[in-house]
Amino acid sequence: MNFVIGAAIALAVGLTGIGGGSFTVPALVLIVGLSADASVGTAFVFAGVLRLIASPFYLAGRHVHGRYLWLMLQGAAPGLLIGTIFLRMMSKSTWSPAIVVILGILLTASSSITFIKKAQNQNFARKNSKWLPWLALPIGVEAGFSSAGAGALGTVLLLNYSEMSAPEVVGTDILFGLVLAVIGSAIQWKFGAINGTVLVQLLAGGVPAVLLGCLFAKKVPARKLKLVIATIAIFAGVQLIWNGSRTLVARLNSAQPAPAAAITVSGQARQPN
C-alpha cells in the first residue's frame, strides 16, 4: 500500500508540482495510521526527494523564474520555522489530535482557492513584486506546520497572480518547494519525527513515478489536472477534520475526572463536600 501511495503522489508531483505534502500527510494519517507529527516529518523528506528529482527537468527547459523564486523564499523560510515550532508545541500536549483537524482545515481552505476565479489577477506579481515575500510567509507557516502548502498554495499564488505560463509556474514552484523541503527535513530529522520504514516504501514507488510524471508533463492539460487534484485534496481535508475531531472529543472525554463517589463510613454512605 505504501508503494502505491508513493507512486500515485509522485506522479502528481511530476505532472503538476503539487501533491507532495497535500496528499502525503492525509494518506499517512488516514491510511497508514502514523501520528500527525511523524506524518509531517516523513512527508517533508519524501516531497524533498521527489522535487530534487523533478527539478532538473524544469531547469533544463528554463521553466524557472529566478526572481519570483527568491522573493517567495524570503518570506516562506521564516514562516517555515514558525510553523515547525507551533507543530512541536502542539504535538506534546493533550490537544495533539487538534493538529489533524488544523491540517484538514488548512488543506481544504488552500485547495478551495483553486476554484475562486474572481480573485485572480495575473498582473499582480509584475506590478507588486515587493508583496511576494509577505504572501509567501503564510505559505511557509503552513508548510512548517503540515508540510503542505509549498506546492498547493505556491502554485495557486503563481498561477493566479503572475504572468508566467503553466510550465514556468510548475518549475518555479518545484524549486520553491524543494528549498522548503530541505530546510523542513533537516529540522524534522533533528527532532526524530520521521518514520524511516514508511519513507523507504514511499520512495520505492515514488522515484520511478515522478520521473514518469516529468516526462509526460507537457502532454497533460495541467489546469484541468489541477482541478481534479484540488477536488481530491478537499475531500482528504474534510476526512482529516472528521477523524481528528472524533479523536479529540474522545480524548477530552477520557481526560475528564470521574464523578465523585459516595464515601462509605461504618456501612453508611456519606456524600462528599
- pLDDT value for 203: 94
Distance CA 140, CA 152 (A): 12
Does the structure show a pLDDT above 70 at 259?
no
Distance CA 158, CA 246 (A): 36
Q: What global pTM score does this model have?
A: 0.73
Q: State pLDDT tens for residues 114-171.
A: 777 766 667 777 787 888 899 888 888 877 776 666 666 777 778 777 888 777 888 8
Does the structure show a pLDDT above 80 at 269?
no
pLDDT confidence band for 104 (50 / 70 / 90): confident
Q: Can you read off the three cell numbers belonging to residue 241?
A: 477534520
Q: pLDDT above 70 covers what percent of the chain?
A: 81
* Of residues 262 and 179, more confidently modeled: 179
Q: State pLDDT tens for residues 208-247.
A: 999 998 888 777 666 676 677 677 778 777 877 887 788 7
* Of residues 87 and 139, more confidently modeled: 139
DSSP 143-199: HHHHS-STTHHHHHHHHHHS---HHHHHHHHHHHHHHHHHHHHHHHHHHT---HHHH
Q: Can you read off the three cell numbers belonging to residue 261?
A: 463517589
Angle at 226 between CA 54 and CA 117, to 5 degrees: 135
Averaged over 20-38, what is the pLDDT?
A: 81
* Of residues 86 and 204, more confidently modeled: 204
> What integer best gives the mean pLDDT of the chain?
78
Averaged over 255-266, what is the pLDDT?
A: 51
Alpha helices in 92-131 (DSSP H): 97-112, 124-127
Residue among 143, 200, 146 nearest 177 (CA): 143
Does the structure show a pLDDT above 80 at 68?
yes
First to last CA, the chain: 56
Distance CA 260, CA 40 (A): 41
